[in-house]
Structure 1
Amino acid sequence: MKEQEAKTEQRKVNGDYDFKQTLKLLDFDEIKRELIEYAISEEVKDNMANLEIHKDYYLITRHLRETTEARAILDVAGTVPLHSLSGIKQIIEKLNRHEILRITEISSLSLFIKDTSKMRSFMLERVENTSSVSNYALGIDLLTAVYDELTRCVNTDQIDDNASSLLSKLRKRIDITEHKVKLKLQDYLIGSKFQGMLTDPIISQRDGRFVIPVKSEHKRNIEGLVLDRSRSGGTVFVEPAAVKKLSDELAQLRIDEENEVYRILSELTNLLASHKIQLYRNYEVMVTYDFLFAKARLSRKYQASPAEVSQNGRLKIVEGRHPLLGAQAVPLNLELDHKNRNLVITGPNTGGKTVAMKTVGLFCLMNQAGLHVPCGKETALPIFDKILCDIGDGQNVQQNLSTFSAHITNIIKIMAQADNRSLVILDEIGAGTDPSEGMGIGIAVLERLNKKGAYILTSTHYNEIKAFADRHPDFKNGSMAFDLKTISPLYKLNVGKSGESNALHIALRIGMPEDLISRAHEIAYKEQHDYSDFNASYERALTASEAEVEELLSESAEASEVVSANVSGHVSEKSSKNKVESQFAPRKISPYKEGDAVYITTMNKNGIVYERENAKGDVGVIVLGKRIKVNYKRLKPFIDSSELYPEAYDLDIVFESKENRKKNKLITKGKGKGLVIEKKGNQ
């Protein structure tokens, strides 16, 4: 029983990834809502609510080309003669069912035919014939003869008197007979014989017959038929016997008129039914134009342009702006391809990592839906069969899943479906649990997705994942710029350089005690660092000239205490005399050994260790062809020597000149009498 429950639970976890969730997470649903606002017809609005994400290269390029042409037409003309299409499809369907149309429905089709003719003229007169958008207008049938007959017979939702000679005669006789009836009734209103018998001197109608209002007590004094009475009972409405014959004649004339109108409606319906194929084709063309110009209006709102549909896997975004951020959007520049398809983005919270990743995913969705994206020229986007996302909290209270569990459940589904035609976006991978385990899970997931050939965009605060991306040939780092002076993010992505979360610097700048920050640094980075002079030196570094910065970077580690101030490259100068270290702090021997590749934080350069740490804590490093001594605190691990060189590799090949190696070989053989090996010192 327990085994069965476990299998059921596993099936839930391994269920299909919800693509609708991707559309929501990447804000594509919001884009659709704005697009729907620009559509006129209800059918197009419904179609846009289920806007398809295409995967065929030629279909996507065709849709994008049409959007581009529609935008060009809109930019020149300003407006386009579209029709609301309200109820038109339903009226045409009534023709298929052989139902007689009402007068209002015939009027609607008459106006529709007129507007389709306007659209045809507009497109063919103002747009080049080479345009595929203008070519749709060639499918519009003018239906001139039909329109002329409809307008002859129907006038402002009424059948015109001249629709037929019989109808014209009937309506003339109706007018004459009505006039005779009213003249006779006037005798009752103004005649002295009936004074005081009437409630009001007016003529009204009941069931299409003319009556006069008579007081109840006098109803027997006027010969006629009572057709109605007031609610109070004080008034009865009498059709006098003197007008009954004329009223009967009038009623018959109206029946004859109604029959003739029905006959005319039948003829007009049959006329329209004989052209229902052309009407439906015209309707489809107008639906297409409504859709195209809605996309064009959205493109104009976003100041967007078409992206190239890449067939070689190149993903390049130039000056891309998230469409929903408007003028607040900071341009995004990014380039990935099959060889460098994975990006790990680092930086402080609320620094724009998630927005940058969502912009990439949203652009791909919009592009494959035939929409323009707000970007610069040379932007190119590949076609993805699947875009898989794990963004946000994702906590599910109903299913009793924690944030971490919800993320892992989603990631399992993503890994099951990802392939080399997928874009995977993972926000804060491995977060929500023990940092060491979360980091391990994060790297393992990235390795698995990479083996599947997926494009990966992920954000992280884990230094180990940053280091993984630095080492792995299929990954590269990126960071979100941050201004420590204003303690605010710049929302700019710098590709090729990992960033820091800047939590300690931010906490210090807003007032946390310096000794507490120093202790936090020691715990986090397993090294001591003095922040006592940070604020003053930071201000100096921010205003330092480029020449002063270069001078600071050129000094050796023994003569300078230069630390990185932020991810944008500012530096902060510190004086070693202000350095305070606890006398009880254990002395740590740095792990760096000969052959290790290290990162020198003071110079923003990589180097190779040629000499282990000495008593002063300085490590010998070869950087830019020079041998210098760098304090171990200014180094970070990059690549272990075991990964750089084969086992038992002679490191003298790396560290010693060819001449010294020859001398050493002769001395080893006992043939080096008088030879001196000169070692290069610090330079």
Structure 2
Amino acid sequence: MNEMTFETLQYRELKELVKSYCVSDLGKDLLDRLQPSASLNVVKTRLRETTEARRLLDAESHVPLMGISAIKHIMTKAEKGMLLEASDLLEVSDFLRGCRRVKTFMLEKEFFAPMLSSYAKSMTEFRTIEEEINAAIKGNRVDSEASKELKRIRRHIESTEATIQERLAKFLRSGANKDYIQEFFVSKKDDRYTIPIKASYKKHVQGTIIEVSSKGTTVFMEPTVVAKLNNELATLKVEESVEEYQVLATLSGLVMEQLPAIKINVELIAQYDMVFAKGKYSRSISGVEPGLNDHGYISIVDGKHPLLKGNVVPLNFTIGEEYRGLIITGPNAGGKTVVLKTIGLLTLAAMSGFHIAVGEGTEVSLFERIFVDIGDHQSIENALSTFSSHMKNMADILASANHRTLLLFDEIGSGTEPNEGAALAISIIEEFYHKGCMTVATTHYGEIKRFSEMHPDFMNAAMKFNSETLEPLYQLVIGASGESNALWISKKMNVSDAVIERAKAYMAHKEYNFTLVDENKKRKPKVVEQQQEKLYDYEIGDKVTLLDEKESALIYKKRDSYNNVTVFYNGAFKEINTKRIELELPASELYPPGYDLNSLFVSHKERKMQHDFERGSKKALKKVEKEMRKQKGENR
């Protein structure tokens, strides 16, 4: 998709609105990466997920996702082999407990949400890791009960500290020391217990100066009576740190061993968070799952712009069946631009798996590309006029558009002398038509309206207004209609010569060429049989595309009860869900009948060895015997 399209149609603002319903950064990150899809199967899956989430929310009102935090930074540390801190481990434990709650919840809701429930079957429970962490870590600190040695060390630390405190208290109570003491309390400096002594009396007290106050009037001294105990305490603290490190290292190792499975849990929780955010958004707008097609037919019933607030006049709009182009006329500020933006954003929303605020019977087509030309694109940096910038945008779109493209143009051909502007606009619209595009455009030009009335594959529409007050009603009515240097500028902006010459002819003769679009460029509705709704039964040797890696692989094991298959990819075997692959070519088309498919997964060296062994080769037998003797020697 085009970045200008996203910006003009406020697609990212819509995603930000949906993101506000996420409960963790996991779902937000996934929504940030979400892009509209032109694949019918992908969008059907996305919308079905949203519908099931909405159904669950309507029935249950909440899903146990609260409290689940993003632990990607912790997973990154674990992948690098770094020690996980006590707080990290507690976050992992909380996350795993949350996964367990979500799994239990989702498996119980199979009747309401069979697709979302099936995802939970891929989620792993880690009760042992949870229990080990919770037993050893308390209050973001390694607990004394984590090991017998740690418990012994800490008891020794407590008794040593108590003895130090007792001796220092006795020092403070002693009348002989009364004149030397600056303040009567025990202070800890550099992890050693000290007494504040007047600097002028420092030589009268037996001990070591640990620190001097900023003004130099006080010295913090470690009396000789506790020096040995302080040294002993320092040694115990080192032993405590070593033992805590051992506990943290053991727990970190448990997490690292299960890292691949935990990462799958992270991905599933992120998916659940995003899908239920879509469901919450759907509930907030009373959203509907629209019908889908991939042949260009759009029918919006009582549609509302996702970002408009207040009393919004609903839109009823159709294109792609009786006509492939719609020309909208009407007064300024009559809502024509809002119509274009509503059509575009509702289409992008549906392609992203969002429910939309429309009436029942709405159907949306999927497009590879959606291009818009709305607003003033004047470029100060390049000194382009408004008309020039529009023509530059048109030239770029002409170079990229195809028969799977939706075009939304506001005031096409405006910004220049009406006669040339209208002729150029008609020529451009006709060029897009012959490319097989669906076009919706607004205009004030009578010539464009006349073209639309005469062309059998175009239709006029108008924005209604109150004839008495002359105020716009913001309603679209389909079937009603309410000397510059444009050609030179367009040529400078690289609009093709054919378009320019046709515009000149239209200006001169007012006669239009109504050659219909090539049938090969028209997308036809696909007749979908019920059998096609079933999952494809992958066969061994089928060539598939891994959707995440965008690379090819071969099917090694057929689909299991969890809809997982094993593929041969980059010299290794990998288990993957059938949702993450797409068929390129079936094995029946790749290999002749009777072909040994096992040979696809065995090296030439292994096949030769097996062949020699089967025909009784003495050399092969000796090699096998040698290998067996070698293994016996290693086992001893």
- Name the counterpart of 1:160: 143
The equivalent of 1:441 in structure 2 is: 424
* 1:298 maps to amino acid: Y
Give the structure 2 partner of residue 679 of structure 1. Answer: none
From 17, 20, 26, give the equivalent of 2:9. 26
Question: Deviation digits for residues 83-133 of structure 1, max 9, x if unmatched?
Answer: 566551121222222222111111111111111111112222345375211
Q: Matched residue of 1:378: which SS?
A: coil
Query: How far has the Cα of 1:243 moved from its partner?
Result: 1.0
* In structure 1, C-alpha distance between the alignment counterparts of 2:418 and 2:149, rounded to whole Å: 92
User: Aligned partners of 1:159, 1:50: CA distance in 2, in Å?
Assistant: 38
Tell me which residue corresponds to 2:132. Answer: 149
Deviation at 1:447, TM superposition (A): 1.5
Kindly name which structure, 1 or 2, has the bigger radius of gyration based on alpha carbons.
1
Q: Distance in 2 between matches of 1:282 and 1:46?
A: 15
SS at match of 1:335: strand
Structure 2 unaligned blocks of 5 or more: 483-509, 515-636
Alpha-carbon separation, structure 2, partners of 1:285 and 1:64: 17
Counterparts of 1:602-617 in structure 2, within 5 Å, are: none
- Secondary structure class of the residue paired with 2:121: helix
Q: Secondary structure at the match of 1:376?
A: coil
Is 1:88 paired with 2:84?
Answer: no
CA contact (8 A) 1:229 1:235 kept: yes
**Cα contact 1:39–1:45 (8 A) shared by 2:** yes
Between the aligned partners of 2:436 and 2:321, the Cα distance in structure 1 is 8
Preserved contact between residue 83 and residue 112 of structure 1 (Cα < 8 Å): no
Q: Which moved more, 1:447-456 or 1:346-355?
A: 447-456
For residue 254 of structure 2, what is the amino acid of its counterpart? Answer: L
Q: Which residue of 2 aligns with 1:245?
A: 228
Conserved? CA contact 1:70–1:292, under 8 Å: yes
CA contact (8 A) 2:68 2:98 kept: no
Instruction: Report what 1:123 is aligned to.
Output: 106
- How far did 1:153 drift? 0.5
Q: What is the letter of the counterpart of residue 214 of structure 1?
A: I
Cα distance between partner residues in 2 of 1:50 and 1:89: 16
Q: Which moves more between the two structures, 391-400 or 331-340?
A: 331-340
Distance 1:133 1:202 in 2: 64
In structure 2, distance between residues paired with 1:315 and 1:129: 30
Residue deviations 1:286-329, cap 9 Å, x none?
Answer: 11111112222222233221111114432100010011113332
Aligned partners of 2:93, 2:298: CA distance in 1, in Å?
A: 50
The TM-score normalised by the length of structure 1 is 0.69
In structure 2, distance between residues paired with 1:208 and 1:32 = 52
Distance in 2 of aligned mates of 1:426 and 1:415: 13
Give the structure 1 partner of residue 287 of structure 2. 304
Q: Is the 8 A contact 2:24 2:69 kept in 1?
A: yes
Aligned counterpart, 1:495: 478
In the alignment, the residues of structure 2 paired with residue 20 and residue 213 of structure 1 have an alpha-carbon distance, to the nearest angstrom, of 68
Cα deviation for residue 394 of structure 1 reads 1.4
Alpha-carbon contact 1:83-1:286 (below 8 Å) kept: no
In the other structure, the counterpart of 1:104 is 87
Shift of 1:482: 0.4
Q: CA deviation at 1:45?
A: 2.8
What is aligned with 1:455? 438
What is the count of residue pairs matched by the alignment?
485
The one-letter code matched in structure 2 to 1:362 is L
Residue 308 of structure 1 contacts residue 379 of structure 1 at CA under 8 Å; is this kept in 2?
yes
Q: Deviations over 1:346-387 (max 9, x none)?
A: 110000111111111111111111111110111101111111
Structure-2 residue corresponding to 1:274: 257
Is contact 1:478–1:496 with CA below 8 Å preserved after alignment? yes
Instruction: Provide the aligned C-alpha RMSD in A.
Output: 1.9
SS in 1 for 2:182: coil
Matching of residues 51-70 of structure 1 within 5 Å: 51-70=34-53
**Aligned counterparts of 1:305 and 1:215: Cα–Cα separation in 2:** 80
Shift in Å at residue 332 of structure 1? 0.6
Q: Alignment partner of 1:327: what SS?
A: coil
Amino acid at match of 1:189: L
Segments of structure 1 that go 5 or more residues without pairing to the other structure are 1-17, 500-638, 644-683
Tell me if the contact between 1:395 and 1:401 (Cα under 8 Å) persists in the aligned partners: yes
Q: Which amino acid aligns with 1:114?
A: R
Structure 2 distance, partners of 1:85, 1:219, is 57
1:345 and 2:328 correspond: yes
Instruction: Identify the residue that residue 185 of structure 2 maps to in structure 1.
Output: 202
- The code of the aligned residue for 1:438 comes to G
Query: Is 2:25–2:70's contact at 8 Å kept on the other side of the alignment?
Result: no
Q: 1:295 aligns with which of 265, 278, 281?
A: 278
Q: CA deviation at 1:74?
A: 2.1
Equivalent position of 1:384 in the other structure = 367
> 1:464 is matched with which residue: 434, 447, 451?
447
CA distance in 1, matches of 2:70, 2:195: 43
Task: Say yes or no: does 1:182 pair with 2:165.
Answer: yes
Distance 1:43 1:151, change over 3 A: closer
Q: Distance in 2 between matches of 1:237 and 1:139?
A: 62
Paired residue for 2:469?
A: 486
Counterpart in the other structure of 2:398 = 415
Check whether the contact 2:167–2:226 (CA below 8 A) recurs between aligned residues.
Answer: yes
1:428 equivalent in structure 2: 411
**Pairing 1:114–2:92 present:** no
**Contact 2:26–2:269 at 8 Å: present in 1 too?**
no
Kindly state the Cα deviation for residue 485 of structure 1 after the two structures are TM-superposed: 2.7
* 2:284 aligned partner, one-letter code: K
Paired residues of 1:302 and 1:326 also in contact (CA < 8 A): no
Tell me which residue corresponds to 2:217: 234
* 1:335 counterpart residue number: 318
CA distance in 2 between counterparts of 1:93 and 1:118 reads: 24
Deviations 1:582-625 (A, max 9, x none): xxxxxxxxxxxxxxxxxxxxxxxxxxxxxxxxxxxxxxxxxxxx
Q: Given the alignment, which residue of 299, 309, 312 partners 1:326? A: 309
Give the 3-state SS of the residue equivalent to 1:38 in structure 2.
Answer: coil
Cross-structure match for 1:394: 377
**C-alpha deviations, 1:250-293, integer Å up to 9, x for none?**
11111111111111111111112121122111111111111112
TM (normalized to structure 2)?
0.74
Alignment partner for residue 247 of structure 2, among 248, 264, 278?
264
The question of 1:473 aligning with 2:440 is answered: no
**Structure 1 position 73 matched with structure 2 position 56:** yes
Task: Give the drift of 1:416.
Answer: 2.3
The amino acid that maps onto 2:143 is D
| Cα contact 1:129–1:135 (8 A) shared by 2 | no
d(CA) in 2 for partners of 1:42 and 1:144? 24
CA deviations over 1:160-213 (Å, ceiling 9, x no partner):
111111111111111111101100000121211111221111111111111110
The residue type equivalent to 2:126 in the other structure is L
3-state SS of 1:99 partner: coil
Aligned residue for 1:468, secondary structure, equals helix
Describe the shift of the 1:103–1:22 C-alpha distance in structure 2 as closer, same or farther (beyond 3 A). same
Q: Go from structure 1 to structure 2 and tell me whether the alpha carbon gap of 1:87 and 1:358 turns closer, same or farther (over 3 Å shift).
A: closer
5 Å matches for 1:564-583?
none
In 1: Cα distance, 2:402 partner to 2:337 partner: 23
The structure whose RCO (Cα within 8 Å, separation 6+) is larger is: 2
Q: 2:266 aligns to what?
A: 283
Report if aligned partners of 2:52, 2:112 keep a CA contact under 8 Å in 1: no
1:255 aligns to 2:241 (yes or no):
no
Distance between the aligned counterparts of 1:106 and 1:199, measured in 2?
45
Q: CA deviation at 1:418?
A: 1.9
